[in-house]
């Protein structure tokens, strides 16, 4: 068991739209990402997805409404529901979802990350990978 500190983890990388796995439990992955700008509309066929904003303001657009998340807010997007995250400013985001969940869901494009990097709590002082 090693404790992890989110602030420290977020300070160890700069790239956007590149989720990193920071923990794994019960078949679920805890991922963190920095995002800026618009993502793609997508849904996840069989995975619910939890969004938790660590820093910044995130807008999650749905076909019928938009939900604004500020620091400390979280939201579960149920499987099958189309969504598009939009960050007008840089957002530090934590995601909780089943291992293997693709960031772009049913869509495959340049934003798709098939093998998210992994962080271990003790290896956050380097460049990250
Ligand atoms: Ni999604």
Nearest one of 47, 37, 38, 39 to 96, comparing CA atoms? 47
Classified by CATH at the fold level, domain 6-118 comes out as Jelly Rolls (2.60.120)
Quote the ligand 1 centre to 123 CA distance (angstroms). Answer: 27
- pLDDT of the residue at 118: 85
Q: Residues 68-111: pLDDT tens digits?
A: 999 999 999 999 999 999 999 999 999 999 998 888 898 888 88
Quote the ligand 1 centre to 60 CA distance (angstroms). Answer: 10
- Which residues are CB-contacts of 1 (< 8 A; sequence separation ≥ 6)? none
The reported pTM is: 0.88
The H or E element containing residue 6 is helix 6-10
Quote the ligand 1 centre to 19 CA distance (angstroms). Answer: 12
- Which residues are CB-contacts of 19 (< 8 A; sequence separation ≥ 6)? 31, 32, 33, 95, 103, 113, 116, 117
Quote the ligand 1 centre to 89 CA distance (angstroms). Answer: 19
């Amino acid at each position: 068991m090693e404790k992890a500190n989110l602030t420290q983890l977020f300070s160890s990388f700069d790239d956007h739209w590149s989720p990193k796995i920071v923990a794994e439990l019960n078949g679920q992955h805890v991922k963190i990402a920095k995002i800026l700008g618009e993502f793609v509309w997508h849904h996840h066929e069989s995975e619910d997805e939890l969004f938790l904003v660590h820093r910044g303001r995130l807008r999650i657009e749905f076909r019928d409404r938009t939900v604004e998340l500020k620091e400390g807010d979280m939201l579960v997007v149920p499987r099958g529901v189309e969504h598009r995250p939009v960050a007008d400013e840089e957002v530090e985001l934590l995601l909780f979802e089943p291992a293997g969940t693709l960031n772009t869901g049913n869509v495959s494009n340049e934003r798709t990350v098939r093998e998210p990097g992994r962080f271990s709590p003790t290896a956050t002082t380097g460049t990250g990978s």
